Amino acid sequence: MSQFQDDFVVGIDVSSQFSVVAMLEPSGKMIRKPFRVEHSPAGFNKFLEILKKEEERLQRKPIYFVESTGIFHLPLFFFLRSNDLKGFVLNPLSVHSIKNFDLRKVKNDNKDAEAIAKLAKYQDVKFSLVPEPKILALRMMAREYFALADTLTEIKNRLCTDLYLIFPGFLSIFSNPFGKTALAVLREYPSPKAVQQADRKHLTALIAKNARKGLAWASKKVDALMEISNLTNAMPAELSVLDSKITIHLETILQLQNSQSEIEKKLHEMVDAKDFPADARRYIELLDDMPGVGFITAATLVAEIGDFSLFNSPKALVAFFGIDPSVNQSGKFTGDKNKISKRGTRFGRRVLFTVAMASIRTNRNGQPINAVLREYYQKKCVNKKKKVALVAVMHKLLHYMFAVLRDGKPYQVRKPEEHQTWRQNHMKLIAA
């Protein structure tokens, strides 16, 4: 049974330029037909006047509920909250489940607003709060960082396609085709013809300077470039116009990389600011100290989690990230090929995946980043697919992170047997 059954409940169906509102009395009676609220100062103030009049009539403060719609619900949500009204955000999956309650197939904004109000009033549905504004801003900046990363990957793939056609063999010359050295060469010599006409000493010096290696090593790279540039003489001359595509892609890559650097710098400034929540800053520092986790990753995870105090167990955190197993059971049948639910934070799950990948790798010296997780992953791979084993590592990482954030203590790599010994001693101390 809902805790809001006896309250004055307001359901708000949000779109980009306006919202539709449905209001229910404590008795459950609809106060008036659902009405439209324009997303403007005049529209917000008019809506507030309506709520105040009904609050005075019913002697109850309204409690409003909005469906999470990315960013569109935030202006109205914060406006109402600034006027001392309590509100909550509902998961779209929960809202969608009640929209088909009627047998008739009717879908419009009025029905949706009414469905949101009835769901909050009568169903014991899970809801969430909009995070602290500083955390919300951190979340949006971190998501923008990864959005730029996706665009950067797309442009790099396009550049690779053009190089396969225009400059075959170039991608195999440098260990990192998008590293500083390779990009510096392409900026000055974006085509095989440009390499053939290049001054050898200048090209050798350019490679040696950017790679920070000797002239002998750079000279070998020049020999390889000259060799592959001669192989392209058989290509039709008409394709030379495509050289400009490489230049365009290079400019875009550099611009995106600079934008990412600016966002990373801004994230550091936000976290280091005096008015940034101290507990969130401490959480970021704790996660940043974990093997395989960097500052961007730690900041993104904390921003996606929001209020950590809302999670009372590792299972709750696992479900929030959407890596809990889905359930497929009916009668005597129980499915044994269930996938993860993927119903939590998509960005958080993406970052957690990169942490899991980093945790099972080794560094340049051959030392494992996280020896315990690498061994755990290898054992899982004996009888599980690699992706399944990797999800198990993600699951384990969330348990580690929950313990670190709950206890406020730095992460320590312990083997399972060492952890059991530590736990037994810890429980004896508590019992004493």
pLDDT tens string for the chain (432 positions)? 678 888 999 999 888 889 999 999 998 899 989 999 999 999 999 999 999 999 999 999 999 998 877 788 888 888 998 899 888 888 776 666 565 555 455 567 788 888 888 888 888 777 666 778 899 899 999 999 999 999 999 999 998 888 888 888 888 888 888 888 999 998 888 888 888 888 889 999 999 999 888 889 989 998 988 888 876 666 666 666 677 888 899 999 999 999 999 999 999 999 999 999 999 999 999 999 999 999 999 999 999 998 888 888 999 898 888 887 765 555 655 555 667 777 778 888 999 999 999 999 998 888 888 888 999 999 999 988 898 899 999 999 999 999 999 999 998 877 776 666 666 666 666 655
* Pairing of β 18-24 and β 62-67: unpaired
- Distance in angstroms between the alpha carbons of the first and the last residue of the chain: 42
Mapped onto helix, strand or coil, the DSSP state of residue 323 is coil
Q: Beginning with the edge strand found earlier in the chain, give each strand of the sheet holding 62-67 in spatial order.
A: 35-38, 18-24, 8-14, 62-67, 86-90, 127-128
The answer for residues whose C-beta is within 8 angstroms of residue 290's C-beta and 6 or more apart is: 298, 355, 400, 401, 404, 411
**Distance between CA atoms of 40 and 27, rounded to whole angstroms?**
31
pLDDT attached to residue 262:
96
pLDDT attached to residue 129:
65
Q: What is the amino acid identity at position 151?
A: T
- Backbone dihedral region for residue 331 (phi beyond 0: left; psi -120 to 50: alpha; all else: beta): left
pLDDT attached to residue 103:
46
Mapped onto helix, strand or coil, the DSSP state of residue 67 is strand
pLDDT attached to residue 94:
66
Beta strands in 192-269 (DSSP E): none
The answer for residues whose C-beta is within 8 angstroms of residue 329's C-beta and 6 or more apart is: 335
* Pairing of β 62-67 and β 8-14: parallel
**Distance between CA atoms of 169 and 147, rounded to whole angstroms?**
30
Query: How many other CB atoms sit within 10 Å of the CB of residue 118?
Result: 19
Q: What stretch of H or E contains 96?
A: helix 92-99
**Distance between CA atoms of 130 and 198, rounded to whole angstroms?**
58
